[in-house]
Structures are given as C-alpha cells and as structure tokens.
Amino acid sequence: MDGRRGPRGVTELSYARCAEVEASMVGDRVVLYHRTSRSALILNPTGSRLWERLATPASSQDLSIALRERFPQLSDDDALRDVSAFLDELSRHGAIVPAS
C-alpha cells in the first residue's frame, strides 16, 4: 500500500477510485455508480471536486489541502474532519480503495 508520513509522523494511507465505479457529471455534481453493487451516490459540488482530485491516489492530507485551497477560511482540523467524513462515505459505498 502507498503511504507516507503525515504531519503527526504517522504513515498515511492513500486512496484511489475503485475500478468498479463509473462517474458522470450532472450539472455541478458527480454521480457515482458502482457496477457490482448496482448502487448510486450523488456527490455535492464540494465532494465532486474532491472526487476529481482522486483521479490520482491521494491521502486525507492531500484532500484536506485541496479543500482548504477552495475554502481558505476552513481550519486544518475542520478540513480534515470533512475529508474524513467524505472518505468514510465513499468507503461505505465501495467507491474508493487503498492505493497500491
């Protein structure tokens, strides 16, 4: 698995899009469809931007930085918390996998 040291010295896991997921843009939102489970997930505009960032494997720290670039008023802690919730949701739907 791909990992690197995060700000606290802990190795961070990187995530990648699952190959079984198709993504389609509908307006400013991405709709994810998991071919195996036949489930769909609609991302809000912010989640859609983070999904685009996952075109290449990314850690929660990478995504947090991307989120703060878009919303500079967010604190580091708030950005990491939001990214963690986003990754949890994608994981529950099988939309992401650990990068290898």
pLDDT of residue 100: 74
Diameter of the chain measured on Cα atoms? 40
Q: State the average pLDDT over residues 25-44.
A: 96
Quick: pLDDT tens for 36-78: 999 999 999 999 999 999 999 999 999 999 999 999 999 999 9
Task: State the Cα–Cα distance between residues 47 and 52, nearest whole angstrom.
Answer: 9
Task: State the Cα–Cα distance between residues 26 and 87, nearest whole angstrom.
Answer: 21
